[in-house]
């Protein structure tokens, strides 16, 4: 690889995150337009008035990150409002696109603050938590070139199994095997395609990792087999915390072998999460990581071939010490006539018990015999949990590609699994946030991703569900997931079932395209989801678009994310044809010339904008991914002479990864109204 446009600067003694895969010589000094001040923990850059800033991966706000302050700090926070600074993933990479075009990756596994025109509107000021970090400066002509170089630097992204491009239904929780079967039956009876159903924490025995409740899921292995026979994958959750309970093998093995994180006294660090008191496996200790990874075998032996790793920031509800401190504070007010500020302080004391900095600084890791405080490595905990599983899968079932995605992440983890966008809400604004995070995550290497479609927290409406689905069908990870106590949002619960069925089937018709574009963007270090500004450089309108995306090489999407809308304004950056789908077979086509348009989109429709001289491959939908019939392939679009398209297909697995074959098609001008194509 050509890395001469990447410069690496090393400050102090950085902790090795293994975020990169390329060896780059360390440069002396500092880059000319980045000034590192005395204590070498500030990186500042003066932006031009119209400079744009991209990146930051999983973060709130727009695709252009300018005008806010972000902190890379894996945080368990379900309120993704626009003033939040951190979410579950920590992705300290930005691209500045202005007179200078460059990327900055601050490889530091704890808090890094990116003040991008917040304190001073034209200044980027990056503050690193400690003076021990690596700084990569990536130069190039365009943001896309920088993404490509950066992605080569950090290594090839994880490739999810083909079946995981099917629709997946989740809820916290389907409590019994009967509940799960009823979800499957309802989807199938309604003619809705589906490939997976999720098992949230209640499938376990008292929330103990790698156990299954015998009462609620009797003969689990048989059950897994029986749903597999219906072409359904069950995807159980694995939480980071291991319940403290005598007689529970995972706990006892971890305790006896010193595989858990320690506190400042060298005792196992204890916190409370879903199972009550837990210990955290020390994923930074290679032996502990290997041990925990092999535990997934308990479930893969029963036929499970997909997992989601959760609570791995790690999330801490409370620690005994933290709780005691809070209770002392609260009781100290008893009988006193407290002022209003004391009252608010009291509230904050109680709320501050969870995920408290005091607790994180009491956690210690054993890194090859050296005790390392969690405070300096917080962001790579979940990363290493996911890596431990991925490493183990290669040993346990090399002939399978097992689905793995995580909540917490750091750059580097993208090689081992995908991520979902965490606990969002059934809010209209979160449809837009879902859209805006897709390209930002792609820039940081996270390609298998998606939001909890229809929203995790809060109650949804039928209209929101349909509009979200119209975006969800383009997310690689297309999962409908919701929280305990919220309105049921499985698609068969709503009145207009025909519309839900049609859109779900459209997803399946599009899977060959989406999968192919996904594979190609992984292999070419490209973006599957591109902001328009990356494609139409110099077009000031395209450069300002924040709510439309290029998806792969042929299409653009512009989903509706507001209630009671009859359509939306769309900027058409080049002549395109809009295909308005009511179903995979029922669609109308309209040509649009470059410019601003209002496009009517009813809530049972999806509009796909196809670029001129490009085509969109489609197949006939199927009830699940294994039944997709590629002989039904067709192309739609407007081709003047010829367009070549490469279709990627999964043909098996080896060494824990999908084997992918490629088929090239030549697509040419229509004959009897449909595009001609042949394999070349
Ligand atoms: C966390 C997860 C969510 C899950 C819940 C219960 O909030 O992010 O997806 O449903 O825990 O396990």
Mean pLDDT calculated for residue range 170-185: 98
Per-residue pLDDT at 31? 74
Helices (H) and strands (E) in the chain, counts: 15, 39
- Going from the Cα of 497 to the center of ligand 1, the distance in angstroms, rounded, reads 27
pTM of the model: 0.97
The answer to whether the CB of 56 falls within 8 A of the CB of 70 is yes
Mean pLDDT calculated for residue range 383-389: 98
- Going from the Cα of 639 to the center of ligand 1, the distance in angstroms, rounded, reads 46
Confidence check: pLDDT of 361 > 70: yes
pLDDT digit string, tens, across residues 474-483: 999 999 999 9
Per-residue pLDDT at 41? 72
**Measuring CA to CA, which residue among 151, 156, 116, 109 is closest to residue 134?**
109
- Going from the Cα of 490 to the center of ligand 1, the distance in angstroms, rounded, reads 17
Residues with CB under 6 Å of ligand 1 are 172, 200-201, 237, 310, 407, 422-423, 481
pLDDT digit string, tens, across residues 456-499: 999 999 999 999 999 999 999 999 999 999 999 999 999 999 99
CA distance 667 to 674: 10
Domain ranges of the chain: 3-154
Omega within 30 of 0 (cis) for the link into 402: no
Mean pLDDT calculated for residue range 128-148: 94
Fold of 3-154: Immunoglobulin-like (2.60.40)
* Ligand 1 atom nearest 172 alpha carbon: 10
Confidence check: pLDDT of 3 > 60: no
Per-residue pLDDT at 40? 57
Interior angle at CA 640, CA 639 and CA 646, nearest 5: 45
Give Cα 8 distance to the centre of its chain.
27
Confidence check: pLDDT of 37 > 90: no
* Ligand 1 atom nearest 173 alpha carbon: 10
- Going from the Cα of 564 to the center of ligand 1, the distance in angstroms, rounded, reads 30
For residue 71, give the 3-state DSSP assignment: strand
Confidence check: pLDDT of 276 > 70: yes
pLDDT digit string, tens, across residues 59-114: 999 999 999 999 999 999 999 999 999 999 999 999 999 999 999 999 999 999 99
Q: Helices 429-443 & 143-154, crossing angle to 10 degrees?
A: 70
Confidence check: pLDDT of 35 > 80: no
State both tokens at 361.
């600084």
Q: Whose CA is nearest to atom 3 of ligand 1?
A: 423
Strands 595-600 and 634-637: unpaired
Ligand 1 mutation pick, 79, 197, 237, max ligand atoms within 8 A of CB: 237
Per-residue pLDDT at 39? 58
- Going from the Cα of 172 to the center of ligand 1, the distance in angstroms, rounded, reads 7
Handedness of CA 281, 282, 284, 289 (dihedral sign): negative
Confidence check: pLDDT of 314 > 70: yes
Per-residue pLDDT at 1? 42
């Amino acid at each position: 690889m050509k890395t001469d446009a990447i410069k690496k600067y090393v400050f102090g003694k950085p902790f090795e995150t293994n975020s990169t895969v390329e060896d780059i010589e360390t440069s002396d000094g500092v880059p000319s337009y980045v000034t590192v001040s005395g204590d070498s923990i500030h990186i500042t850059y003066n932006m031009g008035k119209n400079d744009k800033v991209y990146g930051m991966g999983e973060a709130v706000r727009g695709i252009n990150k300018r005008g806010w302050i972000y902190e890379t700090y894996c945080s368990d926070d379900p309120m993704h409002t626009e003033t939040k600074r951190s979410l579950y993933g920590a992705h300290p990479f930005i691209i500045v696109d202005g007179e200078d075009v460059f990327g900055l990756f601050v490889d530091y596994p704890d808090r890094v603050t990116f003040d991008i025109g917040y304190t001073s509107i034209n200044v980027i000021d990056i503050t690193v938590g400690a003076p021990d970090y690596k700084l990569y400066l990536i130069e190039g002509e365009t943001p896309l070139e920088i993404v490509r170089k950066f992605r080569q630097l950090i290594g090839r992204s994880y490739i999810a199994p083909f079946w995981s491009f099917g629709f997946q239904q989740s809820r916290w929780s389907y409590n019994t095997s009967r509940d799960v079967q009823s979800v499957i039956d309802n989807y199938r009876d309604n003619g809705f395609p589906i490939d997976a159903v999720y098992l949230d924490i209640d499938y376990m025995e008292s929330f103990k990792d790698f156990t299954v409740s015998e009462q609620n899921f009797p003969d689990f292995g048989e059950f897994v087999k029986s749903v597999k026979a219906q072409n359904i994958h069950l995807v159980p959750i694995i939480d980071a915390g291991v319940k403290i309970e005598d007689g529970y093998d995972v706990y006892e093995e971890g305790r006896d072998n010193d595989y858990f994180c320690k506190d400042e006294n060298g005792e196992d660090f204890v916190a409370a999460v879903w199972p009550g008191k837990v210990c955290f496996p020390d994923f930074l200790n290679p032996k502990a990581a290997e041990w925990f990874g092999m535990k997934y075998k308990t479930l893969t032996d029963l036929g499970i071939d997909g997992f989601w790793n959760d609570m791995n920031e790690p999330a801490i509800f409370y620690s005994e010490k933290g709780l005691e401190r809070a209770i002392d504070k609260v009781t100290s007010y008893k009988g006193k006539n407290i002022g209003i500020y004391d009252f608010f302080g009291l509230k904050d004391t109680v709320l501050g018990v969870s995920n408290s900095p005091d607790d994180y600084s009491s956690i210690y890791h054993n890194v090859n015999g050296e005790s390392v405080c969690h405070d300096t490595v917080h962001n790579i905990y979940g990363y290493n949990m996911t890596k431990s599983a991925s490493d183990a899968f290669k040993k346990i079932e090399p002939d399978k590609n097992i689905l793995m995605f995580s909540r917490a992440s750091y750059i580097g983890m993208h090689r081992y699994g995908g991520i979902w966008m965490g606990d969002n809400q059934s809010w209209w604004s979160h449809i837009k946030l879902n859209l805006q995070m897709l390209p930002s995550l792609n820039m940081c290497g996270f390609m298998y991703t998606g939001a909890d479609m229809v929203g995790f927290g809060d109650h949804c409406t039928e209209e929101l569900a349909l509009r979200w689905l119209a975006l969800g069908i383009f997310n690689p990870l297309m999962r409908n997931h919701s929280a305990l106590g919220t309105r049921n949002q499985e698609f068969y619960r709503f009145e207009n079932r025909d519309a839900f069925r049609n859109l779900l089937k459209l997803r399946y018709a599009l899977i060959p395209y989406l999968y192919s574009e996904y594979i190609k963007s992984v292999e070419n270090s490209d973006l599957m989801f591109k902001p328009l500004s990356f494609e139409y450089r110099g077009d000031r309108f395209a450069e300002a678009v924040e709510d439309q995306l290029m998806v792969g090489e042929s299409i653009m999407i512009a989903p509706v994310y507001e209630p009671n809308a009859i359509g939306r304004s769309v900027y058409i950056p080049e002549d395109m044809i809009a295909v308005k789908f009511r179903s995979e077979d029922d669609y109308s086509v309209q040509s649009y010339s470059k410019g601003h348009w209002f496009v009517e989109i009813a809530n049972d429709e999806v509009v796909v904008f196809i670029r001129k001289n490009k085509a969109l491959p489609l197949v006939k939908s199927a009830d699940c991914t294994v039944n997709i019939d590629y002989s039904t392939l067709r192309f739609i679009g407007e081709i003047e002479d010829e367009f070549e398209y490469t279709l990627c297909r999964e043909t098996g697995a080896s060494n824990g990864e999908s084997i992918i074959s490629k088929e090239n098609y030549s697509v040419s001008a229509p004959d009897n109204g449909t595009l001609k194509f042949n394999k070349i």
